[in-house]
Amino acid sequence: MSSTKPILRALAGEVLSTPPAWMMRQAGRYLPEYRATRAKAGDFLSLCYDPDLATEVTLQPIRRYDFDAAILFADILLVPQALGADLWFVTGEGPRLSTITDRAGVDALRPTDAIHETLAPIYQTVRNLAGALPGHVALIGFAGAPWTVATYMIAGRGTPDQAPAHALKDGDRATFAALIDRITDATVEYLSAQIDAGAEVVKIFDSWAGSLKGRDLDDFAIEPARRITAALKARHPGIPVIAFPRGAGTRNEGMHAATGADCIALDDDVDVGWAAAHVQSGGCVQGNLKSSHMVTGGDALVAEVRRIRDGFRGGPHIFNLGHGITPDADPDNVALMLDTLREDARATA
């Protein structure tokens, strides 16, 4: 792990004059080169499981832009597939899975140590990337958080309010907790294998954390993230972990200590001034430009980049979006974002 890489320096708590930057979903449909490679693969899962093509799409935004990190191209639902769920994608509608609705479904999942056979191509992609990235660019591995993954496994698809998962949680908490435990154990193994293959940072995406409240947030978002982080750091001392409890709001205060994560990624509903005072005091923060600015661009984009950059200037910060870039984004706006972020550095060069 090289201390010269800006992302790793920020994750270690260093305050940099210009924050390092990358984007969630930076390899994606807004790029014409991605669309061409996706067409070559034939379908989304084939792209994920082809190490050569997955390496190619991960590298595409690095070639086009001077990002400080590349994030492995994969999908959060590969873990449930490796545990035995049927997984397929419906064009224009998204993922579909076989469902788990009771304890028998949890018990029928494959043993945790069996996941690596299915996920071996993903580890090969990580190895490919570790040998292909420019020297200053860090490699980020990732997984979905147990709660978010569970919502898909229970409903069989994405839902607007995660109601099926809440229903199982509220109706049979023991079964739901058993499912969370199984996903947590598998996530530790999956991320550990990514680190063994060359990932220098890992990120835990809890995209639906905001629908958990009170004790449920503690039990099914914060505690699994703490378990995963502790297990990874025990196996891989010094590995930085980014946690993304999207929608956690004011519960982000104290999240570094609660999860053990080195960095808390903030969605775009979190106020920068509040976060600088109440979250950044605990360690590095990441975020949190609205993805819509990548579509609209212009003076508003420039002003927001400056506002976020300057608002977090007093502590360690990684610049990013508050969620993933959308397919309708203009690639030129990504360049404008990075140019604006780095304007002070250019002026003094």
What DSSP element (H or E) covers 140? strand 138-144
- H-helix or E-strand spanning residue 203: strand 201-206
CB 136 within 8 A of CB 6: yes
Residue of 9, 30, 34, 38 marked catalytic: 38
Residues 6+ positions from 298 with CB-CB distance below 8 Å: none
Instruction: Identify the active-site residue in 50, 75, 185, 206.
Output: 75
Retrieve residue 286's tokens: 């990441």
DSSP 110: P
Establish whether 235 is a catalytic residue: no
Q: Are 344 and 18 in contact (CB under 8 A)?
A: yes
Catalytic site residue 25? yes
75 catalytic per annotation: yes
Report residue 113 as tokens: 């140590």
The C-alpha atoms of residue 252 and residue 310 are separated, in whole angstroms, by: 20
Asked whether the beta carbons of 23 and 290 are under 8 A apart, the reply is no
Active-site residue set = 25, 29, 38, 75, 152
